[in-house]
Amino acid sequence: MRCIPMMMRHSLLLPSLAALACLLALPEQAEARPSLPPHFASHMVLQREMPVPLWGKAEPGETVQVSFAGQSRTTQADKEGNWRILLDPLGTSAESRTLRVEGNMPDSSGDRSPVLLDDILVGEVWFCSGQSNMDMTVAKTEKYRFAGVDNEAAEVAAANHPLIRMFTGDWACKNQPMYAVQGTWRACTPETVREFSAVGYFFARRLRESLAVPVGLVTLSYGASTAQAWIRREAISAEPRLKPVLDTYDAQVAAYVPPSEEELKAWTLEVEKARAQGLRAPKKPKADPILDQHNPTVLYNGMIHPVVPMALRGVLWYQGESITAPKELFPLWNETLIRDWRKLWGRELPFYFVQLAAHGKASNNPEVREQQALALKLPSTGMAVTIDIGDRGNVHPKNKQDVGARLALLALARTYGQPLEDSGPILLAAAREGAALRLSFAHAQGGLVARGGDLRTLEVAGAEGKFLPATAVIRGSSLLVSNPQIQAPVSVRYAWSAFPEGCNLFNTAGLPAAPFRASVP
């Protein structure tokens, strides 16, 4: 057998490597027959009562026909192979039906078979996003070995809800907007619920109980991610206070040089050494800024852009433990995200978010909770308060049942119009009344409640600014707050620490008051 010189052997490998590159790029390329991105798949739920866009890939110029629920739409793929159709609003349906997509060109083998998506329902679809507390699963999984919820075994065993469906997208940080995010739609069973977002699942369960319709959840979350990672480049560039963060990231990408084989080998040895000694492993050298979920745009590009403008009812958001400097920009990042997502979807999407729970570390400090609440100035927003269900030692508290249920109350009251109390007491005003401060509250129509005894974690201060514990007397929907050592109080605060143990101000609906601080002249 004739020997092939090494250089020639290397050149003979090139076509194979090129072919491999093409295969790896297939999700971003047109296929030989019509296709849809993974978030349109068997077992999905389509949004009811609004137009439903569907899109995908085909051969350039190919005619594509989509049929579902008695509707048929025909379009032609553009020169890049992209096609899109729009279904008229669909009625609610728990009937398992098939969506058919058919082109007029055969694939490479001559096959003209249509693409069939089976077991499609029509109901309410909600988008779940944020960082790990949204991504955290109902049970411990390979992805999250420290996950799980209170009463995990019982919750899993009882999770037989075939009309609740969830699409969970794979983590993907990218520097350019992507066509697809990989993931799978699953109907809720005791076997599948283990990998469902716990917050999303308990939200959907309450919605399903109240509305009696199928519920679909699209979960696109990433642990430790920041708000700016989920926002597109155009929105950040348009805000002068945010653009410098994007410019810094662009400079990092331009300057990035991957680590050498020697550096990687040395790092691997250090990791093994650290693990053997039970120490924290060192960070990988020269981390790629594109793969950092703290950087602007990377999660929008990899995970949000692929699903815009999928038909859905609204957004559930749980993020705030991860904030990069300068921290004072955090409220602006949140506002920019909400406004931009609404612009992308072309309507005022309801946006309901979770205020950080009590936790013993600085990530959950009261200033962050105060900054989160500033998003309430935007219309069609709501905040689920969780100050009472945190864990001093665990930034991922196990009580996800109440988190999901409180988000569901916001949706049921504000989006679906049900006559429910959807929030705990929110401070409206503070005024001097003798040697006390009178505090008045919204969401306290039935009166305020001190759960389990006297009100705790309330403090007042005089003009010198020294806060002392306060006593409080409930007067219907208001409080009289005072301390005998302070004759002229000017400031008050409640639950104002990272872990305000014992905070117990509620309304008669059983919902906790949001932490607050206020001053009077």
**In the chain, domain spans:** 123-242+296-422, 246-295, 426-519
Q: Which residues pair with 66 in a beta bridge?
A: 73, 101
Report how far residue 22's alpha carbon sits from residue 24's, in angstroms, rounded to the nearest whole number: 5
Q: Decide which of 277 and 165 is more confident.
A: 165
Predicted local confidence at residue 110, as pLDDT: 75
Secondary structure letter of residue 165 according to DSSP: E
For domain 123-242+296-422, give its CATH number from 1.10.287.1080, 3.20.20.210, 3.40.50.1110, 3.40.50.620: 3.40.50.1110
pLDDT at 108: 73
Measure the CA–CA gap between 462 and 456, rounded to whole angstroms.
Answer: 19
Q: What is the pLDDT of residues 84-113, one digit of tens each?
A: 999 999 999 999 999 999 999 887 777 779
For position 9, what pLDDT does the model report? 28
> What's the pLDDT band for 18 if we cut at 50, 70, 90?
very low
Q: Which residues contact 90 (CB under 8 A, 6 or more apart)?
A: 46, 47, 48, 49, 52, 69, 122
Distance of alpha carbon 420 from alpha carbon 447, whole angstroms:
15
With bands split at pLDDT 50, 70 and 90, how would you rate the model's confidence at 389?
very high
pLDDT at 31 over 50: no
Q: Is the pLDDT of residue 465 over 80?
A: yes
Indicate if the pLDDT at residue 461 is higher than 70. Answer: yes
pLDDT bin (cut points 50, 70, 90) of residue 457 is very high
> What is the per-residue pLDDT for 283?
85
Q: Which region among 153-162, 268-277, 287-296, 434-443 has the lowest average model confidence (pLDDT)?
A: 268-277
As a whole number, mean pLDDT of residues 192-199 equals 98
Distance CA 16, CA 219 (A): 36
Contact criterion met (CB below 8 Å) for 279 and 269: no
Taking only the tens place, the pLDDT of each residue in 127-184 is 999 999 999 999 999 888 889 999 999 999 999 999 999 999 999 999 999 999 999 9
* Residues 325/359, Cβ–Cβ less than 8 Å: no
Question: pLDDT tens across 486-517, in order?
Answer: 999 999 999 999 999 999 999 999 999 999 99
Cα–Cα distances in angstroms (integers) from residue 320 to residues 132, 234, 366, 368, 417, in the given order:
10, 23, 11, 7, 28
Q: Provide the 10 A C-beta neighbour count for residue 78.
A: 13
pLDDT tens-digit series, residues 296-315? 999 999 999 999 999 999 99
Q: Examine the pLDDT at 483 and tell me if it is beyond 60.
A: yes
Per-residue CA distances from 315 to 195, 408, 495 (Å): 20, 11, 28
